Structure 1
């Protein structure tokens, strides 16, 4: 039994005398400033985004899912059997027609740019016209304006409580509150443990930069902004983000990053191939051969942390990302 499920089992065992009340349908949830009403427990869910999908798998809801889309990495091994039962509509952005053709009773998404005022899949109004309730993870709208910047702009730093809210709301919609409580408890325990580990390192002024991808390797890279999810990760472990932009993933020149010379460079590994730099091996080759980046101390001394792209999003892999980052910090104290 792996650590995640061991912790979950312990949490479930501790809560055997305090079960959550079942959902009373119809249930209305305040979601990103919209009242979303779910008339009955959904039996055909189409999930747009790996974060929402893996939360649903962790809540054991695969049997109620009609499709999924928008993936960055392979599914977690613990959920491979569930994922095999759910149709992959698209690895990237699905069309509106491909989603509604599944006759979904509920469509959750990890990003408001998928379903919102400028939704790449569709707008809330389009789904409402067909009587389909849609829901955006609070992680992507609380303290954030998704109409400014390519991936939105943070109005306030990312707050981990928005992830707990997301799990709680999905569990309520699916009438899986006990599983939701156990999942949150397990993740919170791991978060506390990895933060304690990082604090024990007692590092000096260590810094970091997080490279997600690039539209072209010769163009400025998409780096983690100061108030997004990776920025929260760095701050939680005592690392200073050398990128301070409020945009979620701003483009920043390598000359600027090299001048800041971060102690650690975090790069995303993903299975999608939307951009050339989605390939982690291409990222590594660029860092080691480009005349600017190869002079960075993190590159010269191989202080590079490779992290799944999905671990840089606000989902259950966020804690995996914290643990990978803490492991990469070990060498800084030597």
Structure 2
């Protein structure tokens, strides 16, 4: 009897998750090619980029966030109330002075073009010289060359491992590893379920798609997703061919070229941002239905247009939710 109880206890113990280790400070990390160090968990943070904001919220660190900036869409619903109580420094690009004025213990950044060698908010050196460490999400620098200007060029395909890396490193910086492990596990389950759903569908072997993020003007070439970014990951994971051959993150490609490729599915971004006319999803839909070239594409004729959260099209935690959106949309389409 005693041996049975001991065996049962051992089995039960093995089924329990292991407690994550505490962070040993000082902590030294290499982040996007820059050495950063922490003597203790930062007491506050300012975010430049919605991805960094939502990851910190998801790790239970909202009380430490003193300011946010660079928003594409409303915050994830579960964080609406807490986000309403945190200052939004800017909808888009904040000034260097407005970030520094918050005296943050860390500046967490989504895009290197905001804070980097040629950062439009400031360089990392500018922040580090006044004692403010910066952390750039690895999804924007791993397998990516941001020295090419604009949105940069991928040197290798985006993988969700870079998102999980960012979550784990921020969790380590703030000494909340348990929360980090739980968040990564939840996202991995979502990713696996989305792929399994699509694999169970009878999709054509040559299924193709194009992702349209926005356009500086509806009369000129649109910004569409290249092969190696987050949309490329979604298409590859679900067995879809991207009709855009470029390795640039968001190349501009003419509608005539896209129409010749005739994608089976068109994925369009919806967002609150209104920097360009085509940021408005209704303007995108109106264009696709009425433009003499775009309206003739099979995806438009068959109504195979998927609306996706713009933030999911960037290399972020939401890319995994975007994969789920696309997988669910495919399950409701007919390709006969």
1:260 equivalent in structure 2: 261
TM-score by length of 2: 0.93
2:226 equivalent in structure 1: 225
For residues 14-71 of structure 1, give each alpha carbon's deviation from its aligned partner in whole angstroms, at most 9, with x where no partner exists.
9854111111222111101111112221112001111111011100101011101001
2:152 equivalent in structure 1: 152
- CA contact under 8 A between 2:66 and 2:86: conserved in structure 1? yes
- CA contact under 8 A between 1:149 and 1:247: conserved in structure 2? no
Distance 2:141 2:14 in 1: 33
Corresponding residue pairs, total: 322
Superposition CA RMSD, Å:
1.4
Distance 1:130 1:15 in 2: 47
Identify which range, 16-25 or 67-76, moves more after superposition. 16-25
Q: Please report how far the alpha carbon of residue 86 of structure 1 lies from its aligned counterpart in structure 2 after TM superposition.
A: 1.4
Identify which range, 36-45 or 50-59, moves more after superposition. 36-45
- Cα distance change, pair 210–14 in 1 and its aligned pair in 2 (3 A): farther
1:137 equivalent in structure 2: 137
2:46 equivalent in structure 1: 46
- Look at both structures and tell me which one has the larger radius of gyration over its CA atoms: 2
- CA contact under 8 A between 1:62 and 1:85: conserved in structure 2? no
- CA contact under 8 A between 2:158 and 2:315: conserved in structure 1? no
Distance 1:61 1:154 in 2: 31
- CA contact under 8 A between 1:55 and 1:315: conserved in structure 2? no
Distance 2:170 2:123 in 1: 20
TM-score by length of 1: 0.94
1:18 equivalent in structure 2: 18
Q: Please report how far the alpha carbon of residue 202 of structure 1 lies from its aligned counterpart in structure 2 after TM superposition.
A: 3.4
Distance 1:51 1:313 in 2: 9
1:242 equivalent in structure 2: 243
Matched ranges for 1:1-334 at <5 A: 17-204=17-204, 205-330=206-331, 331-333=333-335
- Cα distance change, pair 14–266 in 1 and its aligned pair in 2 (3 A): farther
